[in-house]
Amino acid sequence: MADNYKDHPIGISGPADKHRLITKSDSAAVDPKPRALYVLTSGDLSIGDSLGTAITYPVTAGQILPFRATHVRATGTTATVVGWE
């Protein structure tokens, strides 16, 4: 497959080129840390940041969160998300 942009560096503001289902966990960190989260199913999403703060957000399917979450907590999360890298 041709890639006209293969020689261009991908910065944090550029498009992601990998995606993977995020496994919810109250202890394990998301590894590698995604550049954004994409919501597959609506619900609540409890995410942690680099300071260890966890906040639960109501999210809707199709929503993009431009947030580099360190954790997607099992407790408090009913939504399903994909990480974009």
pLDDT band at residue 81 under the 50/70/90 scheme: very high
CA distance 54 to 37: 15
Other CB atoms within 10 A of residue 11 CB: 7
If one compares 17 and 74, the residue with the highest pLDDT of the two is 74
Mean pLDDT over the full length of the chain:
93
The residue extents of the domains of the chain are 19-84
pLDDT at residue 34 is higher than 90: yes
CA distance 47 to 79: 11
pLDDT at residue 8 is higher than 90: no
Prediction pTM value: 0.88
The percentage of the chain sitting over the pLDDT mark of 70, rounded to a whole number, equals 100
